[in-house]
Structures are given as structure tokens and as C-alpha cells.
Chains A and B, each alone.
Chain A
Amino acid sequence: MMRRSMYCALLGLATSALVLAGCGGSSPSGPSGKGVVLQGTVLSATGSAGVTAHAGGSQSAAGKMVVTVQENPAISTTVSANGTFELEGLPAGTITLVFTIDGTVVGTIKIDGVAADVEIKIVVQVTADGVILIEITIEGVGGPSPAPSPSSSPSACLIEGGRANSNIELEGQVASGTTSLFELDVQGSRARDLVDVNASGASWKCVGQSGDCKTNFKVGNQVHVRGLLTTCTATEAVVNATEVKVQKP
């Protein structure tokens, strides 16, 4: 009798351990039948002004982060304390993820050209300027395939969150060119390549420095550009600047 009790107890322990080990989690059971499945990890920008560390770390100071699909707001989930989240049953086509903390939108990520029944994996970073896509992988039913967007789709914009014929603000270093036309190395990971800036009609401002910064303009200057994104593909982006601010060196 005693021995049977002992075996029952051990069996109970083992069963519960197995059930717990098997329940939920990131086990890639395959996207088929679940619609589009999206798994993500949110990183916070440590030290960024205005953004309290809230993902990949403590969210207690800023409240829970929620991810909602703009095309179907009924689809939403809460980001875990370690920054991970998962969404199932997403629509094919365009998916716009809206990140909110306590109801306040902190950024969006748009993914175009998503096929049905694929599994998307993304890593995003929350900064003071919004949510930046760091990495995206899309796996189809037939196995891994290149991500259609925004990293490798011919129709995608090489600037994260950028859209042709829309206003944009960029910050970065001048890689080459003149005050009329220069190439901008955008700060962080927001752009996958240099951005062409047509500044021939822009107003120039010098921030935190004396003298004519336009005359002293040179490669390596830190600038803030505001203007219209006229062209944006996976390989080329052109901004017609209305304002160029040259930061203090």
C-alpha cells in the first residue's frame, strides 16, 4: 500500500512536469491551420529619453505593453515581462502592429505582402522616436523563405515606417555629397541603406553652434532632415528636404 502511494505520488509529479513542459510556449508547431502566426520580441532602448524600460525587462514602471493588429483590432496580446509575444490568426496581406502602453501608442510596424499560413518572427526596439524593426524572418509552410517585407520585398521601403509621398523626419550623418544633394547615413537601424537627400530648396539651421554651418557643411556632419519622401523602394530612398538642421559637432 505504501509503495503504491509512493508510485502514485511520483507518477503525479512526473505527469504534471510533463504537462507543464509541454503546455504553451514557443514550440514551433507549424503555422498551418492557424492563419498567419507572428512571434515577436520587444527590446527597450536603454536610456532613451521618454521611454521607460518596459520590455525585455521591467514593465512595472510603464505598465503593460499591448500589441494590436490595426487591420483587425480584435487581435491583440500583451507583451510578457521578458518582451516576448505571440499573435495567431492574422490576416494575409498587410499587417500593421500597433504598440501601446497604457493606451498610448508608442509606435507601429507595418509588414506588407504577407502570404497566408506563414510564421513571422520579428525583433523590434522601442525608442523615444517610436518602434523600430530590428529583424524579421518569415517562414512558409514549405520551410524557411526570405522575408517578403520589409527587409527584402521589392515593394518595401528601405526606411522603416517610410512611405513614398509622405512626410518624414530623419537623423543621421552625412556620408557624401554637397549642400544641394547628399547621402544620409540614418542613425540606428531605421534605414537599411543610405538615403538620398535633395536639400537644394531646404532651409538650413545651425543647432548649438555659431557661424554658417551651411558654408562649413562637410561629410560627417550630424544632421536632422525634415521633408517629403518622394521615392522609397527596397534599394533607393529620396527625400526632398524642406529643412536641414546641422547639429553641434
Chain B
Amino acid sequence: MTEGGAVSGSRRGLRSLGGALVLLLAGASILAAAPARKPKPAPSGSRERPDVFGGYSFVQSGSANLHGGQVSASYPLGRSLSLVADVSGHYGSYAGADLTELDLLAGGRRYWRWRGLSPFAQVLVGGVRHKASAATPDGAISSTGTDLGVAPGFGADYRLTPRWAARLGVDLRLVHGGGWEADPRVSAGAVYRFGRR
């Protein structure tokens, strides 16, 4: 493997591409499946309700695997569209440096619904703030920066009670830092819905 680095770079690209393809295929299959089956008619006047989500989140940021938490809130604009605000923080270390990332994203989400499952697709846009720090004999040094982030993704809520649901979501966080790079992000947690149908 004499061209390991080049291979490394292209492998990472291939892995990201593979991940993106899996994500897109899975998403397409879910979203295609929803309308293919005749959904149970929604009750008259049925519409989405405001909700908040909180849970665990993982992101593969560059070469580093970071773990953290995610909080998001959505507000319905119509029967199936919602405005979404999303905040997530991820932490970890890589090659001796401590990494911290904060994502502030907002966008739109489209729901489908059949029975207890509500698949959704969404696109979020916002800022991704990075911080990297390392300890030195003279004290810690760090650097920070903020990049544009765009995160198309999908997921599904599984209704547990009229107000509570479990959510699993994946998205591909595209970060523009001199060029675009794709960071897969996965989240899982609980959703609380406000109001009544």
C-alpha cells in the first residue's frame, strides 16, 4: 500500500459516500413505503402538534467519532409540515486533542403518518462551531471556528402514548469549511408532543 494516504483520503470519501448512499436508500425506502400503503385516515382536523425532542447524538466529524446530546423543537405550519430548531453538542478526543462541536440548525420537516409510526424527512441549515484544544507545558491551547452546515436527513417517531414517542433519526451534516465535507449524524431519544389533535 504505497499510496496509503491517498487511499486513506479516498477511502474516507468512499466510506462517507457509502454511508450517504445507505442513508438515502433507507430513507427513500421508508418514504416510498409510507404512501404506498394506504394510511389510516387521519381524524378530521388532524394535524401535527408542536413537539420537543431530547436524546443521544453521535456524529462522525472529519476523522473523529464524537458523542453528545441533541435537543430539537418543531412547530407545525400545516397538516404535515413543521418548522424545526435543532441544537446539538458533541464531544470527544482525537489524536490527543479534545474536540467540542456545537450545532445550531433550523429548517423544515415533512411528516408522514401511518398507525403509530410517523416517518419524516427534513432539511436543516445553520452553523457548526468547532473547538479543538490540547494541553502543553505552557498551558492549554485551543482554536475555534464556525462553519456553515446543511443537514438533510430523515427519521421516524414511534408513538408510545398520546404524548410520548420514541425517535430515531439520521442525517448527513454537510459542513462547508474551505470545501464541503459530509459528516453522518445519528440521534435517538424521546419526543414529547404538546396540545391536542
A residues sitting closer than 8 Å to B (CB atoms) are 1-3, 5-6, 8-10, 12-17, 19-21, 23-27, 34-35, 39-46, 53-60, 62-65, 67-69, 72, 74-90, 121-123, 125, 134-137, 188-189
User: Is B160's CB within 8 Å of the partner chain A?
Assistant: no
Q: Is the CB of A81 within 8 A of B130?
A: yes
The 4 closest A-B pairs by CB, nearest first: A89-B4, A57-B145, A80-B62, A75-B5
User: Is B168's CB within 8 Å of the partner chain A?
Assistant: yes
Residues from chain B with a CB closer than 8 A to the CB of A188 are: 138
Residues from chain B with a CB closer than 8 A to the CB of A65 are: 178
**Residue on B nearest A89 in the bound complex, by CB:** B4
Q: Is the CB of A84 within 8 A of B95?
A: yes
**Residue on B nearest A3 in the bound complex, by CB:** B115
For B58-84 the 0/1 string (1 means CB < 8 A from A) is: 101111110000000000000000000
Contacts A59-B177, A69-B5 hold; do A8 and B29 have CB atoms under 8 A apart? yes
Q: Is the CB of A88 within 8 A of B147?
A: no
In Å, the complex CA distance between A63 and B178 comes to 5
**Contacts between chains A and B (CB distance < 8 A), count:** 275
Q: Is the CB of B15 within 8 A of A41?
A: no
Q: Is the CB of A16 within 8 A of B144?
A: no
Considering only residues 153-177 of chain B, those with a C-beta below 8 Å from chain A are 154-156, 158, 168, 170, 175-177
Residues from chain A with a CB closer than 8 A to the CB of B141 are: 43, 125, 134
Residues from chain A with a CB closer than 8 A to the CB of B101 are: 82
Q: Is the CB of A43 within 8 A of B63?
A: no
* Nearest CB on A from B112, distance (A): 10
User: Is B54's CB within 8 Å of the partner chain A?
Assistant: no
In Å, the complex CA distance between A137 and B138 comes to 19
